[in-house]
């Protein structure tokens, strides 16, 4: 299946693009997508999105079709063909280093 990924702000700088398409196995999850991006685009991506325990960092927002995965199944949220996944790091005056 194919999913479209949109990244913002520093994530875009990290990956060098703002919108891209990824081919994943059927039944892949948001976690699988993060792994794919880290493996194929920039290995730092995983560490920017997940903490040392493998949880989504609390200031990072991940959306599937505009819905926050915190209110879906988190990293286990299953993706479908044509889903749009957005990665957003909140920014703030004085407090963001990348």
Partner 1 sequence: MSALAGLSEEELARYDRQIRIFGREGQQRLKNAAVMVAGVGGLGSPAALYLAAAGVGKIVLVDKERVELSNLNRQILHWTGDIGTPKVRSAAEKLRKLNPHVEVEEVFAEINESNIMDLVKRVDLVIDGMDNWETRYLINRVCVEVGRPFIHAGVYGMHGQMLVIIPGKGPCLQCVIPEPPPSAEVFPVLGTTPGILAMMQVTEAVKILTGYGQPAVGKMVIYDGTTMTFEEISVQKREDCPVCRKK
Instruction: Please report whether residue 54 would count as binding partner 1 according to CB under 8 A.
Output: no
The answer to whether residue 94 forms part of the interface with partner 1 (CB under 8 A) is yes
Q: Which of 68, 73, 76, 82 binds partner 1 (CB under 8 A)?
A: 68
Pick between residue 18 and residue 82 the one whose CB is nearest to partner 1. Answer: 18
Residues paired with 68 in a beta bridge: 63
- Indicate whether 95 belongs to the interface with partner 1 (CB under 8 A): yes
Does 93 help bind partner 1 (rule: CB under 8 A)?
Answer: yes
Strand order in the sheet with 19-23: 19-23, 2-7, 84-88, 61-64, 67-68
The Cα 57–Cα 3 span in angstroms is 22
- By CB under 8 A, tell whether 86 contacts partner 1: yes
Residue whose entry in the numeric block shows the structure tokens 């988190």: 74
46/18 Cα distance (integer angstroms): 17
Residues lying near partner 1 in the complex (CB under 8 A) are found at 6, 8-10, 12, 18, 57-59, 61, 63, 66-68, 70-71, 86, 88-97
């Amino acid at each position: 299946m194919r999913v479209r990924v949109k990244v913002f702000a520093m994530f875009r700088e990290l990956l060098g693009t703002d919108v891209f398409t990824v081919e994943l196995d059927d039944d892949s999850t948001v976690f699988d997508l993060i792994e794919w991006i880290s493996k194929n685009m920039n290995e730092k991506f995983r560490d920017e999105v997940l903490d040392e325990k493998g949880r989504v960092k609390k200031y990072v927002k991940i959306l599937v079709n505009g819905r926050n995965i915190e209110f879906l199944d988190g990293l286990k949220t299953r993706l479908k063909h044509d889903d749009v996944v957005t990665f957003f790091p909140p920014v703030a005056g004085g407090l963001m280093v990348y």
